[in-house]
């Protein structure tokens, strides 16, 4: 097993974890996201996206906002 060094370790690849990783990356902060499962869901898990969430996604860029 090898050692991994990162500035921020994010636990969970849900909405909050994924958004946190994306936002930290835009500021050049090294981060790593880990998840309990070895697969990604093939269907959406968030059924409602509130206005503030869309504002944060808009800050990440048009491509991210469009994908959401």
Confidence of residue 67 (pLDDT cuts 50, 70, 90): low
Residue 2 lies in a domain: no
Instruction: At 58, list the tokens.
Output: 């808009």
Number of domains in the chain: 1
Residue 52 lies in a domain: yes
Residue 59 lies in a domain: yes
Percentage of the chain surpassing pLDDT 90? Answer: 29
Residue 3 lies in a domain: no
The DSSP letter of residue 28 is T
The whole domain housing 13 covers 8-67
Residue 61 lies in a domain: yes
Whether residue 48 contacts residue 59, with contact meaning beta carbons closer than 8 Å, is answered with: no
Residue 48 lies in a domain: yes
17-31 confidence digits (pLDDT tens): 888 998 899 899 999
Alpha helices, DSSP H only, in the chain?
Answer: 15-26, 51-60, 62-67
């Amino acid at each position: 097993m090898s050692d991994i060094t990162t500035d921020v370790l994010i636990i969970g690849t849900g909405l909050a974890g994924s958004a946190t990783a994306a936002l930290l990356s835009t500021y050049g902060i090294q981060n790593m996201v880990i998840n309990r499962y070895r697969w990604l869901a093939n269907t959406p898990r968030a059924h409602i996206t509130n206005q503030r969430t869309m504002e944060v996604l808009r800050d990440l860029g048009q491509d991210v906002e469009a994908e959401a």
